[in-house]
Amino acid sequence: MKPLLLLLAALGLLATQARAGVTKDTFGTTRDGASVERYTLKNQRGLVAKIITLGGIITELHVPDRAGQLADIALGFDTVAEYEEHNGTVYFGCITGRVANRIAGGKFELDGKSYTLDLHPKTSFHLHGGLKGFSKVIWKAEIITDPRGPALRLTYLSKDGDQGFPGNLTTAVTHVLTEDGALVIEYVATTDKATPVNLTNHTYFNLAGAGSGTVLDHRLTLHAQRYLETDADMVPTGKLLPVAGTAFDFTKGEVIGRRTAQIAIGGYDHAYVLADKPRPKPVLAAEVHEPKSGRLMRVLTNEPGVQLYTATYTTPLKGKRGTSYDRFHGFCLETQHHPDSVHHAAFPNTILRAGQTYRTTTVHQFTTR
């Protein structure tokens, strides 16, 4: 390479390194007058993740295609008001908890005591931690030093009785944008009284770019041999069914939209079994490839399950930067314990007790093919 080109390349690298790190600005104000901060994580390769303190929402995630062009692949909104209006239905990008997914009847028993939770509107189940669950509260943010790359830690104290759950639960969620092109999400929680805990992130991905249309042409490989049978409310019955020979089989890789017509609800909102119990460290659970851009996302987790959701219930919405979202315009791979585990003793345990520490990690690796 000629000296001038070498100099320009060096200057470009230095400029990228100078911009790498974490910056903070104000995203907006809630209807209650609380300030919502936005943190921008950028690594030395130029990948960008933007996270707000409302719900710990990932509002943007910019990753390169096979030509090196960045695109925002996370569905979301431009304003706090839009998140407040819609995040009780679509849950774009947020932390969900204390208990992600469904709890049948909004009730459970623990150590001989009955607990009553709120029901999701017009349903018979509790969903994603309640009407003011983790997706709707303001988290405390702290920029931290991590050898893997730019990092942000979010913390929240959910007090005893919050949304009907017992115990004071302290939760920390750390996001790391690694220098090798991954977004790592690490969850840690402790409690002073036994309580169910099942945390996940609810980002809707479109690897062609948020607002670019459906994800039905994305090819999904999902390393799960079984899925959970559900009732009409999509609440697990307790039976684990084999995926082999069904429209739920992605073990060898399949285009997401090829068999949606075979599903009773017209798309996917189903829990898959990755393992009989949590693993000691994250292992490959799924990979998704978008053929036109070449973007490839691999998902690694130590969780025993993952919920595949293809925006099956989404109705037309105004998205970021003048785009629009509709049914099948994104997919979620929500790593978690099985839904409604409090009612199924055979499912992996979701009860956290005083003196124990809840830990789980999910890694989203981005590359191209």
CB 87 within 8 A of CB 81: no
Q: CA neighbours within 13 Å on the CB side: how many for 181? A: 14
Helix/strand/coil for 17 = helix
Q: Which residues of 96-110 are buried (b: 16+ CB within 10 A; e: fewer)?
A: bbbbbbbbbbbbbeb
Any residues with CB less than 8 A from the CB of 344 and at least 6 apart, and which? 236, 238, 338
CB 316 within 8 A of CB 228: no
C-alpha to C-alpha distance for 340 and 104, rounded to whole angstroms: 6
Closest alpha carbon to 305 in 205, 200, 233: 200
Tokens of 344: 């199924």
Supply the residues annotated as catalytic.
202, 334
C-alpha to C-alpha distance for 71 and 157, rounded to whole angstroms: 34
Q: Is 116 exposed, middle or buried (0-12, 13-18, 19+ CB in 10 A)?
A: exposed
Which 8-state DSSP code applies to residue 10? H
Q: Write the DSSP string, 270-307.
A: EEEE--SS--SS-EEEEEEE-TTT-EEEEEEESSSEEE
CB 326 within 8 A of CB 314: yes
Q: Is 184 exposed, middle or buried (0-12, 13-18, 19+ CB in 10 A)?
A: buried
Tokens of 243: 């995926």
